[in-house]
Amino acid sequence: MNGLKKIASKVVVCTLCDLSLKRKNSVPGTGPENAKLFIIGEAPGKYEDEKGLPFIGLSGRFLNKYLEAVGIKREDAFVTNAVKCRPPNNRKPESKEVDACRPYLIGQLSIIKPKLVLALGTSACNALGIKYKHLSDVRGKSMDLDFFGLKLHVFITFHPSFPMRFTKPRDTFLMDLKEVARLLNSQQ
């Protein structure tokens, strides 16, 4: 069993926090071990909980459309979430839940060693320990992080549900994803 499969096998039986009590399926994440791009969302929603796969509902379709628009193949990226189980009524995951789930994220990142991590929204930033007052302080920026000994290059943008619901931030979201594509294709 490869390393990602080993982590997934632990995630599917995880009881480290109370989100495990109400889930149908946990959602470890999908994508190849050699992914250059590692995408972190917030938490599984209804469809993801039903199928055990990340970003397959409406915000997933919205994200896929924007990734495709900038020439990024979703199947080449590893896609996961700050927490691997659906919070009741799709509420935001609590910090203690993000904390409980972090070891899985660290494990996945340490196996994949991506060129770039794309943090989608506040919960993804929380999972990575990125501190700010407002998301707008860090959105559209990339930064180097020492994350539990792993050297990560992280780019931050909105969670796709925001530009999905409101038209105004869509141009900014597209601009951010273009920058993600540029960083992925750059030499360093």
Residues that bind ligand URA (CB under 6 A): 41-45, 48, 54-55, 57, 59-60, 81
Shortest CB 113 distance to ligand URA, Å = 22
Q: How far apart, in whole angstroms, are the C-alpha atoms of residue 44 and residue 87?
A: 8
CB-based contact 1:10 (threshold 8 Å): no
Shortest CB 167 distance to ligand URA, Å = 19
CB-based contact 116:180 (threshold 8 Å): yes
- For residue 135, report the phi and psi dihedrals to the nearest 5 degrees: -55, -35
46/182 with CB nearer ligand URA: 46
Shortest CB 187 distance to ligand URA, Å = 31
Shortest CB 9 distance to ligand URA, Å = 19
Shortest CB 163 distance to ligand URA, Å = 13
Give me the residues paired with residue 119 across strands.
40, 156
28/60 with CB nearer ligand URA: 60
87/114 with CB nearer ligand URA: 87
Segment (H or E) for 13 = none
Q: Give the residue at shortest CB distance from ligand URA.
A: 41
Q: Which residue in this structure is represented by tokens 């792993």?
A: 150
43/184 with CB nearer ligand URA: 43
Q: Which residue in this structure is represented by tokens 């951010």?
A: 176
138/161 with CB nearer ligand URA: 161
CB-based contact 26:97 (threshold 8 Å): no
Q: How far apart, in whole angstroms, are the C-alpha atoms of residue 147 and residue 16?
A: 21
**60 in helix, strand or coil?**
helix
